[in-house]
Structures are given as C-alpha cells and as structure tokens.
Structure 1
Amino acid sequence: MNVLSRVVTYASGLPLALEVIGSNLFGKDSEEWESAFDQYERNLDNKIRKILQISFDALKNDEQSVFLDIACCLKGYAFGEVIDMLHAHYGRCMKYHIGVLVQKSLIKINGYGWKVQIHDLIEDTGKQIFLEESPEMPGKRSRLWSCEDIVKVLESNQGSSAIEIIYLEFPFSRRERDEDPMTEEKCEDVQVKWDGTAFKEMKNLKTLIIKNGYFSRSPKHLPNSLRVLEWWRYPAKCFPHDFHPKKLTILKLPDYLHPIRELDSLSQGLVTLKVLNFDYSKYLKEIPDVSSLQTLQELSFRECKNLVRVDSSVGFLPKLKILSAQYCKKLSCFPSAINLPSLKTLSLYGCQSLENFPEILQEMKHVTSLILKGTGIKDLSCSFRNLSGLEYLDIRENKMFWMPSVIAMMPQLTKCIINGVSNKGKVSGKQEKEGLQVEGILAHSLCSSKLESLDLINCELSDGFFPLAVAWFSNLTRLNLSGSKFTVLPECIQEFRFLESLFVDDCEHLREIRGSPPRLTDFSALNCKSLSHMGTSVLLNQEPHRDTLIKFVMPGRIPRWFEQRSRGASISFWFRGNYFPDYALLVAILLTDNFHCNPIEVTAFVTINGKEVHVDRNSEIDQLFVFDLSGITTSSNKNGWNHAEVSFIALKRYGGKYDYHCLDVQNESIVKEIGMHVRKQKISSIMQDIRFTDPYKMTGLIIMMMMVSVVLPNHKNQPLLLQTLIGLWTLLFLTHTAFGSNTLS
C-alpha cells in the first residue's frame, strides 16, 4: 500500500505514467517494488521521458524556450504575471506561445488566481532536457532553479554570461517561519555565505527572482542587463552604485527591510519600468517622488503597516493602470488630486486613517470597480463623477454619515454597497441622529439611476424612502435595507418589477408587509422584532409563481397552500422517474416560539432510499424558512418508487460571529412543523410521480380488494356485493392515481 500510494502521487493523474510503471512492476514482489520506485523518484523513467519529449521536440524554438522557462522557474505564478515577465525577459509578447503550450496540454491555467500549472512529470521532463545543456557546470547553464546549484554558483563565484534566469526559493517560506519558530533554525542552514560579487560576471542575466533565504552580505554588483528583479527582503539599504538597468521593466521588493533612500536617483534611469512593488514592507514610511517613472503601469504597496505618506507625483502617472494601497492602516497623506487617465484599478481597502478621497481632475473612464471599505473617508466630492465608467462601489465600514449625493449621478453605476452607523454605541449622538440622509439625496437627484444592486445597510431609512426609491431605482434586482427604521413595506414596492432579492434584516420597527414585488424569490426579514406572523400574511398568502430558486426567511406560519405537513424534525414523500423533482418541491421549516428572534443556522438534507444527499440550502433563521430543493443530482430507481426524507441540522451561534455549536434537533424541540408543497405550474407534468403516501401500501390494499372480490364465496349470487367491491376498488385506484400527490398523511 505504501508503494501504491507513492506511485499515485508520482503519476499525479498522468495515465501514461501509470501504464509504464504498472507494466514494470507487474509480477514483482514488494521489495522489488520498493527498489524500483526509489529509482523512479530519483530519475524519470526513460519510456516516459521519450514519449513526453516527442511533444517537446514538436515545438518551435520560442515555444521550447517558454516551456523551459515555465517548467524550471515560473510554475505557480499567475497567468498575467507570467505574460508580463516573459514579455520583459524576451522584449516581446509571448502570450501566443503560452497558448500553444496550453493547447498541447503541456501546461494548464487554472485554480484560484489563474495560476500557471504544469504536471510534475512534464516539469521533470523539461528540467532533465535542460540539464543536458551543462550537466556538471551549473554556472554555464542559462537557467538556474536548484537551491544547491544557485548557492554553489553564488558562494564560489562561478557565474558566467550564459546565465539568463535565476529563480531561488528555499524549501521554507517566510509564512512557515512565522508559524513554526523551529523552522527559523532550519533556515540557518540555507544562508548564502558569499562576498556579494557573484553577479559581476553574469552580464546577460535578465530575470532574477529570490523568494527567500539569508545573505551574509549585500550585493556589491547587480547586472545592468536585468529586466525582471524580484527580491523578497532585499538585504541592502540601496542598490550598488554602478547599477543602471536601462531595460528594467519589473521591480519587486516585497517585505523590504529598509526605508527607500535611493529610489529617486535610481528612477532617473528606469525609462522602461512598468511594475514597482513594495508590498508588506513594514519599514516603508513614505512613497517618494516617482514623477520620472512615466512608463509605470502598476504601483503596489499593500499592507505596509507604517506607511504614512504617498507623494503627490503618484497621482500624475499617465500610463498607471493599477494602484494598490490596501491595508495601509496608517496612511493619512494621499495625493489630494489625481489625473490618471489609464487607471483601471484603485484599491484603498482598509486604509482606516485616510479621511479624504482625492479630487478627480479629469475623466477617468477605465475604473470600473472601487472598494473604499474600511477607510476613514467622510465624503465624496462632485469630481467623483469623473469616474464615468464606475460600475461597482463599496463604501462599507467607513466614517460616512451622509450619503454622497454624487452617487445618484454616476452614469454606469450598477452595484453600490453603503454602510451607515453600524456601531451606534461608539459614535456621537449627533451622528446617530443624522444617520445617512438617503431620502434627501434621492429627492434632489438629477438623473435616473441604472443601479441593479443596492445595499443601504444601517442607513436610518424611514417610510418616506420607498416612493422615492421606486421612482429612481426602478431597475433594481437586489435591494438590502437591513438595519432601517421604516415601519411598513408599502404596496408601492410592487412597482419594483425586476426585484428578485429583498433583505430587511434587523429592521426593529418593521410591523407589516403590505406588498410584494412580482419577481421576488429571495427575501429575508431576520430579527425583525416587531414583525408578527400576521404582518407577513400578505407575502405568504399565495405561492411564488416563478420557476426559480426560492428562499424566504421571516416571521410567519407555514402557508395554507402547503399540502403536506408534519410535526417533528423530518418529512417524507415518494417520487419516481429518472430525475429528482427538485424545482417542483418547496419545503417550509417552522421553529418553535422559543427561538423567535434568537437566530439559529439551519442546513437541510435529503435522504433518498437511505442515502443522504446534501442540499445547498442553508440560512440563519429565527422562525420560518421556505426554500426549494433544487440542485440535487442523484441516481434513483427508474422503474419504481423512491422514498425521500427531508431533515436538517441546526447550529446556534456561540460567542464569536462564526462560532457555532450543534443543537440536538430531536431533544431540544426546535422545530414546530415542517411543510411541503408541489408547485402548481409543475403538477401537470409530475402529478403522477410525487406522492405523500406510501404507494406500495396502497398497491397492496388494491390487490387485497381484488383478491377479496375474486375469492369471496357465492359472489355470483350476490351481484350487489360484487358491484360494490368493484366500485370501491375503482375509487381507490382513481384516488391513488389522480390525487396521490395531494393526499395528507
């Protein structure tokens, strides 16, 4: 079993490897397996190597080079980063060549962040092909990735002009060192003990990437041929005096150990720089003048905890596309005005000391998304309208107590999230009283909004909000008004013709629902203490007519149009056919009064013929939960009836926000009643295939009646009795066939 586990890991899903290894190990004993596989792990099998090399040999020269770059050095980078680094390294775009490698299945682009991945055996093939370039002299190779080889070259000054790429990453990352103090001691063995001159002879080094490691000295020389320089925890306060890389395109110094001192002098020669990165640099307090970096496209200094000031020149870079300063908690001095015509991404998320958003001097139409969540920004000026292409705006968890009027004037804004006073005990009485004056803003809006999704959370909304909102936000499909002060949901909300999702959680003054949008399928009124089941009767008096997902959370009672009800923690039904009738069924869970306004987390499950199937329907509820059973895919008895049972588990919040503990559904009497309904628009096609009574028991009863009618003595002499039995049998059959889906247990 140990060897088989190693084989599976080694093959990593490559059928060719399983076939070759399996044929070699077939007929041998376990000791031979151990010996043979030790050899596999040391050296790639020749059969596998020869077959994989056929694909490599079929590539053109540029494609082979890109393949070796990825296999040896760039595996695991994001797709966009690989494109940028290869473009910088070769001086031309290599996106087409990457596409060829993907088409031939030599690399993959998948996973979170669109990482460039390569199968382990294909990676090993590429590395072995490349090692033939200079098997004994690493300093004569064009690519270095082995820690041992790189340390040897640096410590022994064996570098040469043949080296073009160095990728150094020791086995222990910085995160692992932070999590495991013992790892720090292990990393002492991988310290590079050099004199700092090893790069002097590497006159053609174009890409230098150092992810971690300790260097006994700062570099005394860096090649002017560099086009990509990424060095985590760069050990020097400044660059070597003779370092003038005229073709440097990407400069990344994450977790920089010193304040920036000589960027000004260095930047004078960086006429081709496109990417500048100082992420996670805790000693960085200021971003200096970068006005000479007119080609810069990306500037990032995320999570620089002590960064206070960003020079005003950052606001006037004509080609800048990405500006990221998120989680710089002490940042208070940001450019007061910006004109960045090429900007696409601006991230100030988590800059809690930043109180003013810059003036937008001219139109910046390429910014489509802006997250100002967690900032100290108090208002947005009229110049904010110059972000004419903005589609998504998030200004939660900030210090705004007035809704900026400019929001209603954004021509392309389709989604907006605004938080009001969320921690009333921590703000002044005046701020709490004022709240976010949304109604006044709407009343003075100059143009109709294109908003499709609007969150106005804790915004102190009153009953006067709805007539204005219906007029100005007629295109909404999603509306979140949680934490408001209104008392009713008026009849006019029926005029939200496209609204599908409506949330009014924590609206303590809400007493009654008088209307319902015609397309509403997702509704939540959690922790509405003044809302009784009578107040929700209008919403529940008729079933939703749309054939879509349903999720309602609110106070109330199980609607009368639910055909089947059961007291307890589960409800059963029978179905037949090839597919589970998911969209056709609605389920309602009603909690006991003990849990009203004391929310718990509920997750539903369905057991089909004894096999449990998870339902992707869970919610925090305090009384009534109505939902459909869509999303279940499972095998069933095609030729007969299947027994299904709906049950659930309940979790109660305990302590922290996401800290729950499981409740015993049976013993704590959480559930009062469970209901089930077959949608009317579906009955015509499936009424014969869903039943709430056991079809096998009914069939047995019918057979028994038939047998009685046959074997009853003297039945020929008692025609009236025979006719009665036949009539009763017919009535049972018709009832079972036509009304089985509506029969109460």
Structure 2
Amino acid sequence: MVQLEKLDGDRAWFGSGSRIIITTRDQHLLNIFKVDSKYEVMTLDDNEALELFSLYAFEEKEPLRDYVDLSKQVTKYAQGLPLALIVLGSDLKCQNIHQWKSALDKYKNIPHQNIQRVLQISYDSLEDSEKDMFLDIAFFFKGEPLADVMEIFESCHFFPVHGIQKLIDKCLITVNDCDDKYVWMHDLLQDMGKEIVREKSSKDPSKRSRLWFHEDVRQVLEEDYMGPNQIEGIIVDLPEGDEEISLHPEAFRHMKELRVFINRNARFSCAPNYLYDKLRVLDWYNYSLSYLPQNFQGKNLIVFRMRHSLIKKFGDGFKPKNLTIMAFKSCSHLIEIPDLSSTSNLKELTIESCHRLVKVHDSVGSLEKLSDLSFGKCSKLRMLPRSLKLRSLRKLSLRNCSSLCDLPEIECKIKSLRRLVLYGSAVEVLPLSIGNLVGLEELYLSYCQNLMCLPIASIQLKHLSKHGIGGCTNIVKKMREDGQSCDLPNDSTTMEEEISNSSNGSTALQLSNLQISCSHSESNFFPLYSFFTMFNSSTSLRSLYLAGLEIVSLPTSIKGFVTLAHLNLSHCKKLEEILQLPPNIRRVDVEGCKSLERFGEVSKILEFNGSHIRSLGIIGLTGCDKMHVNIWSDKVQNPLLWKGLYDYDATLFPKTHIPDWFSYVHEFLKDNEMVKGPNDHIRPREKEEWVIDIEGPHCLEEISGIVLYVVIFLFFNDTMRCKRICRAAKITSNGSNDVCRIQDGVQLVNIDWYKKGNRTGYHVWVGYSNLQSFDLKVLDNLRVQFYPKSHLYAGMVPFYESYRAKVVYKNERRANKKKRRDEANVAKTPDQQKFN
C-alpha cells in the first residue's frame, strides 16, 4: 500500500499516454486503486513448462534423451509454476541421473529452500487466524466444499468470512465459480504449508500443530508421550501395504488441542479410550468399537463420519448440538438412527450401505435445517419418521431401500425440495401429501417394482425437469387389472384434446379419467400414456428415463416435449420403431433395444439428410443388433459404404487381427485400403487435425451442402462413456476469405461385450453444412479440416479411423455426369481436349 501511495498516488502525476503496470500478490490492492483492468498470470502448460525447465537444466529447449522421463516428473511436481521450474532446473543442472532421482525424492517431502522462501512471503503477511485457516486447508480441507469449511472455521472462531477472502486476495487459495463451490490451492503452496509446520519441530513430531506424514503419525500414535502436546490435527493416510497402527491406549488423552482427526485407510489395534471435546471433525475409517468413548460429548463437533466401522451406538452423553454433517457408510452393526433432537443444526444426514439399519427415529423428521437426507442401499430399512416437517430439505434419497414399503406423510409445503430419489425401493404407494413438494425438479421412480399407483393429480409438475419411471412393472400390471387404457393416440393433437377434456387444460391428469378400450396386444402396451398427457409445451422437462418398459413404438406425441434434451429408452426389449423425436433433443439412449430396427432420425443422418435434428449430439446404440445389421448392410443406400468419396483412411492394425465376430467391420473395410502401423502396433495420432482437399470449381447454386463424417472402430478394456470423437471441423476455399465452421454434429455410438471380457465398438460422427457462410457464387478448391479429440478414452485402442467428406448436389445425376466427363477429359491429350 505504501509503495503504491508514493509511486502512484494520483494519475495526474503521469503524462498523457502513460501506462502503469502493477504486479502484486494481493488483489485487494488493485481494488483499492481502481485499476482499469486485471490479468491473472496463468501457470504454464505441459509443453511450455518442459521447455522452460530444459532451458535452465540443459540450456536446450528439450531435455536430453536419458533425462526425458525425469524431466517430466519435475514439471509434474512444479505444476506449471515458473518459479519452481527455474529454481529446480538450475539446481539439477550438471547432475547425474542418480542425483536427480535422489533430489526428486527429497522435494516430495521437503520443498526446495529457494521456492519455500519466495512462496512464504504471502503467508508471513497473514494474521494468526488466517494462517490457521491456510494451514488447515493445506493439511485437511483442500478440495472440500467451501460451505462446510466455513462452518468448521466459524466454530473455531477464525472469522472465515473475512479471512477466506483475504486468502483468495493473496492468491493462496482459489474457490471455483460453480454453484457448488470448492476450496483449492496449488500443490506447491500446499507443500509450503506443510513445510512451515514441519520446521517448527523437525525432530519431535508431537510438538507440531498438524501431522500428515505417515511415519510421524505412526510415531505419535504408537508411543507414549507424557504430558500435553500441541497437536491440533491429524490425517492418517498410510501407503499401500502398511495398513495397521498399534494405537497406544493413552495416545489421545494427551491431545487436548485436537480439532481435526481424519483416518482415510488405517486399521487400529484398538479404539481410543478418550477424546476431548475440542474436536470439530471426526472422520474415522474402520472404527473398531461399537460405541464412542464414554467421556466424549461431541459438543463442538461439526463433521462426524464413520466408514466400514463397527459403530452401533453413540452413548447417552453424546450431544453434538453444533453438528452439521453426519455420514455412515458400510457400518454393518448400525441398527437404528437414534434421537437426534439435540442436533438442531444438522444439515446433511447420509446413510449408505448400512445393511442392518431398520429404523430411523422420528426426531429426524423435525430437523428444521436438514437439507440433504439420504438412505442409499439400506436393504433392511423399514421405518422412517412418521412425518416430514423439513422445510429446508433439498434432496431426499431412498435409493435401493428394498424393504421400505411406506413413505412418511409430508405435513407442510416443502418448497426447497428439488430432488426425490426412490430408485429401486419397495414403496407401494406415494402418499397424497407428496403434492406438498411444490418445488420438485427431479423425480426418480425407476425400478420401484412394487409401486401400484401414482397420485398424479396431486403432483405439481411445473418445475419438473428430470423424471424416471423405467422398470415399474406393477404399475403396468395394475392398469391392466383396472382395464385402463393401452390404446395410445399417436397424434399430438389428440393428446392435447385429451388433456383439455380430462383436466380442464391443467398439466395434471388423473388415471381414473382414462377409460379407453384396450385393442392392442400386450406387447404393445404402453403404461405411460397418463404421463405423456401430463406435460405440455409450458413444462420444463429436460430428462426422461423410460428404460425397461414394454414399448413397441414410441408415440409420435413425444415431439410435443419441446424442452426435452435427454431421452433414455435403454433395454426396452420390445421396442421396434422410433418415428419421431422431440425437436430440441440432444441425446437418445436405446442401448439393449434388441428389437429396434426402424429409427427415422438415424436414417436421416446416414442419408446425409440436412433435415435431421441439429441439436442432437449422441445416439447410443449399444446392443441394438437389428440396427447394426441395417447400418452396415450393403443392401441399403448407406453412405458410409459409398465409394468415390473424398477421404483419408488410416487402418492402424492389420485386417487379420480383427476378430471374425466383428463382422460389419470386415464389410466396411473389404474395399478400403489397409494401411499398417509400424510393426503392426497402434500408430499414435501425429497431428491435431486431418485435412481433405476437394478439387473445384464449385458452383454454390448447384450445391445443397457438404457432409463430413468420421468413423472409428476400436477395441477397449476400460470403462468408456459416450463422448464426442470430433471437436469441430471447418471448410475454407483458396478463392475466398470466408470460413464455414461446423461445431455441432451427431454421433452414433456402439459398444459391445464379447467373450472373455473383450469389448469393441464403433463411433460415427456426422456434420453437415449448407455452405451459406461463403459470399462468392463460385468457389475454387475446398479444404476440409477435421479437429478430432486428442485423448478420447482411457483404455481405448482404435484400429481404424476414416475422415470423409461429400459434396451434395441438388441434381446428383447431373453432377455425376459432369464428373465422369471431367475425368474422361483429363485422360485426353491437350490437342484432344482443345478439339473437344
């Protein structure tokens, strides 16, 4: 501040045209002096980092051949920080490989002094409470939700509202800009914090404030240190193969200042017999007793987690009035959630895979601040609180609670609830009071196989954006027994009339109002007609999950779902055709639909038809056997099999290495040139783009557009999700300065399992442009540049890649005739051409 006041106190001190550049570690100073603009200096990417390091270590832009792997380890350690790259490069210069390896081992435990000294400048300017928050984040809370960290620091009287912002201004921590904010810091700043604590007592770890190194942790917990120590926090993270700690019975009795204890993976020979009430965080993996220490009241506890532990009860004296987060995972002896009326500040209660849990105390239903209540995979849970009065509840999950038959009554309007998950539960009836969930955005009922009926009229769906009801087989059975409709109108106008007549134009429709005779076969039965009629163009439904239902044909009324972006019809094994899709759909999943053979949108895409839905990005076709036969059969006009296209093909494996059961690949490759990679191994992608030149001239008045596609066949041995194989493409002409860009395309995806765990698949990306970006009526040669994804998937082994382009003419017959004439003309001598 003093420097800025004396050097830049008034802009009038400087002449017209002057530019003042301020470099600082403190963003707050820039706000005080109202600078015109800010620029945050970013860390270097991997290539830049390696070049900078090499300039100092080898006086070359690239590392020496024998030092390449070690140099990459250094740049990974430096995380793009120029200071560290320069210091380490200078320090390792002229050292042999053994000295490099030794130095790297040292840096992982003790930072280089010159790096530590510079980074610590910002830390030294902090106040004591701010230093404590920085060190706690470095040791325990990096990557944790900001809201949870703030709660913990508030209980420690660190004044985090002011202090956290100070750490951000000093560039010591960062907080992401998403709705769910998390706290982060650079790895070298984290190491700097750990080194500050270690230097306080390099020989005796019991005199340090925080412990993290596994050897120091073991020493303190296994030995008997007489008298109080200074330890405020411990995190136990043992290396693989070193799993047990022989806990000294009195180890925790001397830790009167202990605020944080986190055990990530260690087994203890016994449980502690004493814990002090200064604890704010108790996160214990594999706790070995069924109860907590008798003296422990937990009155200052904020976070309480147990994983894979024997905990059964907390003890009568356990009254954690400040507790905000309680979580138990795979605690096999936990039978009941006890009276929690004293934990009035509880915000999150998560119970997962506690297979003996039977009952939840009624007090849980009256916790005013509870926002997240989850009981996942608690297979014996039968009794929830009799009523829910949780005005702050945002998420209620009962996923795979296979013994839970009844839901509690909802006694008040819960406007805050956004997500209700009953997936796989044994619930038979939804209570009428579910209508009090007026703010519901996500409702998941899939595979509730005992669910008999739905109180549709009581559910206000105006905010619902995601809904799943696939696999609810008893709803189908119940509707059959009641003689309700299975004859579906396939016209959107009929659907709208049905809404108007049955529910006075509202977005809800009672099942009892549907009295239409069933004339279709059982396999044609579609049990969700009432759901289709519940929605109109004003709803906000974005995701619909209908997996596993007995559908033969998707009603064309689905096109009325104008906001729908994701439609999941996977494993609808009787589904034969999809004639229409919503106009703004982005993704369709039909995996496992073995009977599907007519899919209008796929036909449009493969026929290079520009009328297909442009928003559609991915169609998942895994296990759609009949669709694959149609797509790769030479009996249809499949453009992927057309000859004479402008293309660039690269077969990375010899054809003999492609399994026989990958039959459609052999069909595709039989007339394509086979290009072996070196030594029959996979050839790495050598460049960031693939280029295809299309000779001209091209008259735009005769062209409908241009279609681009990428085909990749692959083996893979790891989990693979559907992602784009092509980032974008662009089209240019050497006779124009205009550029036509294709950012969006549609991708067909197939992934199949075969014997012995082998998996194969193909990805087809199709992009289309009408070339309207070009101003000229006649273009010279066209150049198409594809920009594929560089690292597609972990475990993926592509053996064939094809990049193709086709100019689509308004009159294909005339265009082909002209092309043949031009080719014949090229073969003639100059005199023959002149005569012609």
Q: Report the CA distance between 1:353 and its aligned residue.
A: 0.9
1:300 aligns with 2:350: yes
* 1:733 aligned partner: none
Q: Is the 8 A contact 1:140 1:159 kept in 2?
A: no
Using the alignment, how far apart are the partners of 1:246 and 1:24 within structure 2? 51
Say if 1:277 and 1:614 are closer, same or farther in 2 by CA, change over 3 A. farther
Unmatched segments (≥5 aa) in structure 1:
177-182, 452-457, 559-563, 576-590, 596-604, 620-626, 666-670, 713-720, 726-745
2:452 to 390, 395, 401: 401
Using the alignment, how far apart are the partners of 2:223 and 2:765 within structure 1? 78
1:366 aligns with 2:416: yes
Q: Deviations over 1:255-291 (max 9, x none)?
A: 33142151x4322xx3333333333211111112222
1:168 to 215, 231, 235: 235
1:234 aligns with 2:287: yes
* 1:632 aligned partner: 727
SS at match of 1:68: helix
SS at match of 2:216: helix
1:461 aligns with 2:516: no
Q: Is the 8 A contact 1:403 1:437 kept in 2?
A: no
Q: Is the 8 A contact 2:524 2:553 kept in 1?
A: no
Say if 1:139 and 1:445 are closer, same or farther in 2 by CA, change over 3 A. farther
1:608 aligns with 2:725: no
SS at match of 1:128: helix
| Aligned pairs for 1:215-614 within 5 A | 215-260=268-313, 262=315, 264-267=316-319, 270-398=320-448, 399-406=450-457, 408-421=459-472, 445=503, 448-449=506-507, 460-461=525-526, 468=533, 506=572, 508=574, 513=579, 527=593, 529=595, 543-544=610-611, 547-549=614-616, 566=639, 568=641, 572-573=645-646, 608-609=690-691
Say if 1:248 and 1:610 are closer, same or farther in 2 by CA, change over 3 A. same
SS at match of 1:132: helix
SS at match of 2:641: coil
1:82 aligns with 2:134: no
1:106 aligns with 2:172: yes
Q: Is the 8 A contact 1:68 1:126 kept in 2?
A: yes
Q: Is the 8 A contact 2:432 2:458 kept in 1?
A: no
Q: Is the 8 A contact 2:540 2:563 kept in 1?
A: yes
Q: Is the 8 A contact 1:138 1:153 kept in 2?
A: yes
Say if 1:444 and 1:317 are closer, same or farther in 2 by CA, change over 3 A. farther
1:63 aligns with 2:130: yes
* 2:210 aligned partner: 143
1:7 to 63, 74, 91: 74
1:127 aligns with 2:216: no
SS at match of 2:262: strand
Q: Is the 8 A contact 1:491 1:516 kept in 2?
A: yes
Q: Report the CA distance between 1:383 and its aligned residue.
A: 0.6
SS at match of 1:252: strand
Using the alignment, how far apart are the partners of 1:59 and 1:318 within structure 2? 37
Q: Deviations over 1:496-517 (max 9, x none)?
A: 555666676748476795x776
Using the alignment, how far apart are the partners of 2:578 and 2:267 within structure 1? 67
Using the alignment, how far apart are the partners of 1:283 and 1:11 within structure 2? 45
Q: Is the 8 A contact 1:401 1:436 kept in 2?
A: no
SS at match of 2:135: helix
Unmatched segments (≥5 aa) in structure 2:
1-66, 489-494, 510-522, 632-636, 649-663, 669-684, 694-707, 715-721, 784-804, 809-814
Q: Deviations over 1:620-646 (max 9, x none)?
A: xxxxxxx9999534699985999x9x9
Q: Is the 8 A contact 1:312 1:334 kept in 2?
A: yes
Using the alignment, how far apart are the partners of 1:145 and 1:536 within structure 2? 56
Q: Is the 8 A contact 1:237 1:258 kept in 2?
A: yes
Q: Which moved more, 1:201-210 or 1:101-110?
A: 101-110
Say if 1:337 and 1:679 are closer, same or farther in 2 by CA, change over 3 A. same
Q: Is the 8 A contact 2:129 2:159 kept in 1?
A: no
SS at match of 1:98: helix
Q: Is the 8 A contact 1:252 1:277 kept in 2?
A: yes
Q: Is the 8 A contact 1:153 1:159 kept in 2?
A: no
* 1:740 aligned partner: none
| Aligned pairs for 1:693-712 within 5 A | none
Percent identity over paired residues: 27
Using the alignment, how far apart are the partners of 2:169 and 2:182 within structure 1? 16
Say if 1:234 and 1:16 are closer, same or farther in 2 by CA, change over 3 A. same
Using the alignment, how far apart are the partners of 1:512 and 1:238 within structure 2? 57
Q: Report the CA distance between 1:304 and its aligned residue.
A: 0.9
One-letter code aligned to 1:153: V
Using the alignment, how far apart are the partners of 1:507 and 1:95 within structure 2? 55
**What TM-score, normalized by structure 2, do the two folds share?**
0.62
1:22 to 68, 72, 89: 89
One-letter code aligned to 2:690: I
Say if 1:683 and 1:374 are closer, same or farther in 2 by CA, change over 3 A. same
One-letter code aligned to 1:402: C
Q: Deviations over 1:531-587 (max 9, x none)?
A: 7689999999974276544667897999xxxxx964738773379xxxxxxxxxxxx
Q: Is the 8 A contact 2:224 2:250 kept in 1?
A: yes
Using the alignment, how far apart are the partners of 1:207 and 1:465 within structure 2? 53
One-letter code aligned to 2:282: L
Using the alignment, how far apart are the partners of 2:540 and 2:140 within structure 1? 50
Q: CA RMSD in A?
A: 5.5
Say if 1:693 and 1:132 are closer, same or farther in 2 by CA, change over 3 A. closer
SS at match of 1:266: coil
Q: Provide the aligned length of Structure 1 versus Structure 2.
A: 638
One-letter code aligned to 1:247: N
Q: Which moved more, 1:273-282 or 1:237-246?
A: 237-246
One-letter code aligned to 1:273: L
Say if 1:528 and 1:682 are closer, same or farther in 2 by CA, change over 3 A. farther
Q: Report the CA distance between 1:333 and its aligned residue.
A: 1.5
One-letter code aligned to 1:461: F
* 1:662 aligned partner: 760
Say if 1:361 and 1:680 are closer, same or farther in 2 by CA, change over 3 A. same
One-letter code aligned to 2:209: S
Q: Which moved more, 1:517-526 or 1:248-257?
A: 517-526
2:246 to 181, 191, 209: 191
Say if 1:344 and 1:409 are closer, same or farther in 2 by CA, change over 3 A. closer
One-letter code aligned to 1:106: L
Say if 1:650 and 1:485 are closer, same or farther in 2 by CA, change over 3 A. closer
Q: Report the CA distance between 1:368 and its aligned residue.
A: 0.8
Say if 1:661 and 1:73 are closer, same or farther in 2 by CA, change over 3 A. closer
